[in-house]
């Protein structure tokens, strides 16, 4: 049996990381604002309540990315 393995190497630049981190921070702000705005209407509609409860699925990873960006910026300044 003969098998072939192909390896692909991807190089990510600092500019690309910063561009994606800006997108992540903007998304985090949007999700937090949307959750805050819709939380007052959560008891009136089942769908809005489900969105407010389920939005943590997106917010928590974006918070981790935000923390990583802040730590990276602090380390590069020092």
**62 pLDDT above the threshold of 70:** yes
Could you tell me the residue range of the domain that residue 66 belongs to? 14-77
Indicate whether 58 belongs to any domain: yes
41 Cβ contact partners less than 8 Å away, ≥ 6 residues apart:
48
**Structural domains counted in the chain:** 1
pTM comes to: 0.74
User: Per-residue pLDDT tens for 8-47?
Assistant: 777 778 788 888 889 999 999 999 999 999 888 878 888 8
Residue 1 has pLDDT above 70, yes or no: no
On the question of pLDDT at 3 being above 80, the answer is no
Residue 21 near residue 65 (C-beta atoms within 8 A): yes
More confident of the two residues 2 and 18: 18
SS3 labels along 34-53: HHHHHHCCCCCCHHHHHHHH
Answer whether residue 6 is part of any domain.
Answer: no
């Amino acid at each position: 049996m003969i098998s072939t393995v192909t390896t692909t190497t991807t190089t990510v630049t600092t500019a690309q990381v910063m561009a994606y981190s800006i997108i992540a921070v903007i998304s985090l702000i949007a999700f937090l604002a949307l959750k805050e705005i819709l939380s007052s209407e959560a008891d009136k509609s089942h769908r809005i309540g489900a969105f407010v409860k389920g939005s943590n699925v997106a917010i928590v990873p974006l918070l981790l990315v935000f923390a990583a960006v802040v730590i990276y910026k602090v380390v590069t300044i020092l």
